[in-house]
Amino acid sequence: MECYKNILVTGAAGFIGSRLVNGLLQQGKSVIGLDNLDHPCGAKIDCRFREGDVRDSQLIDELVEKADVVYHLAAQGHVGRSFVEPQQTFDVNVGGTINVLKACEKYRREGYKKRLIFASSCEVYGTVQTDPISESHPLNPQSPYAKSKVEAERLCIEYSVRGVDVVVLRLFNTYGPRQRSDNYGAVIPIFVEKVSKGEPPEISGNGAQTRDFMYIDDALQALLTFGIMSGSEVYGEPINIGTGIDISISDLANLILKLSDSDLRPIYTEPRPNEIMKLRADISKARGLG
């Protein structure tokens, strides 16, 4: 839609953000990317780019003013690091989101409507009681990272009630090219890297824990679709973005070994504290809207 010509992407140098920038440019959009370059994925950034931090409220105000749609992907997304640096995690993930929301509300009051697409995470569900997981499932975050996403979601919903057009997307485990292997949540690139070096994949616990893995192109399509979708029913409520299919970590490791024609076998280690044992998305809401 022509009214959604100018796009701001926070976290533009990251795994998902860099692919989103490329997708938006292919659609002919005018894109400004923001990233602090702490953890770039290594891809070339072809859009207009500002190096900066989402905690800088003045910078966020300046960039949001120029945008019709804001994709807010910037986050401290390392679950393990969030236990070591919980305050920084909240400062970035909650404080940065507040800055984006306040800027969107400010310009809405001045007559310039903005649409905000907020990238949340399936980590907000924690230990689940049902399979698959619908958006109405109680939230039970198991890490400071997950708790920060719950709080950021709550703020998005509050600002939606106040008139800001906010779409909250709960992304399930996304994988694909450009994904870094230094976050234990990025299990596919971790396993692939291990096997390519002739090392066995290491699995915490017995490997029975499952995840709903979504290829980056599918995540990208969802982001692009909800960025232009009309209708107020998409605002102010979380939407699961996944495949609706899960696989155990043990089966995943063995599949990668098989595809690599490797004789290696997984190594099983002590289970992680607060390990989430099952995550599979109920995607009926997204299908109904899309």
Question: Token pair of 90, please?
Answer: 């909240």
Residue 268 CA, distance from chain mean position: 28
Identify which of 135, 17, 154, 46 has the alpha carbon closest to the alpha carbon of residue 97. 154
Q: Active site includes 215?
A: no
- CA separation for the pair 197, 157 (Å, rounded): 45
Strand order through the sheet with 238-241: 48-51, 30-35, 6-10, 69-72, 115-121, 165-171, 238-241
Distances (CA, A) of 47 to 7, 26, 31, 265: 10, 11, 6, 43
Instruction: Say which amino acid occupies 4.
Output: Y
7 membership: H or E segment, kind and range: strand 6-10
Backbone Cα Rg of the chain: 19
Question: In the structure encoding, which two tokens stand for residue 64, read together?
Answer: 């949001």
Tell me if 69 sits within 8 A of 227, measured CB to CB. yes
Residues 241, 286: contact at Cβ < 8 Å?
yes
Closest CA to 63 of 33, 24, 23: 33
Separation CA 174–CA 180 (nearest Å): 12
Contact assessment for residue 286 and residue 233, using Cβ atoms and an 8 Å cutoff: no
Between the two ends of the chain, the Cα-to-Cα distance in Å is 16
**Set 125, 145, 159, 235: catalytic member:** 145
The catalytic residues are 145
